[in-house]
Amino acid sequence: MTKLLDKALEAVRELPPNAQDDIARVVLELAGAPEIKPVPLSPDERAAISKSKAAADRGQFAADDEVRAVWAKHGL
């Protein structure tokens, strides 16, 4: 294992279990693990994704200050 991956796993251990599981799914998918199934989306989540894709197709993206505000809201 590389030092960077070891450092990443140490950081993940400090996160809540649901966040650890989300990260584990991404890592396993990137590693090509065949047993990982996609997480099913709710109808509301599917609608939000469709709305976002349509906005992107129109070239409508959040301004830098809007993105910073969302990050700040979540402590990032």
CA–CA gap between residue 12 and residue 19 (Å, rounded): 8
Mean pLDDT, residues 17-42 taken together: 88
pLDDT tens for 31-60 read 988 887 777 999 999 999 999 999 999 999
Domain that holds residue 27: 1-39
CA–CA gap between residue 34 and residue 41 (Å, rounded): 20
Mark whether 11 and 29 lie in a shared domain.
yes
Between the alpha carbon of residue 53 and those of residues 26, 57, 68, the distances in Å are 21, 6, 21
Mean pLDDT, residues 19-42 taken together: 88
Mark whether 49 and 61 lie in a shared domain.
yes
In the structure, how many helices (H) and strands (E) does the chain have? Answer: 4, 0
pLDDT at 38: 76
pTM: 0.50
Residue with token string 């509301």: 44
Mark whether 14 and 48 lie in a shared domain.
no
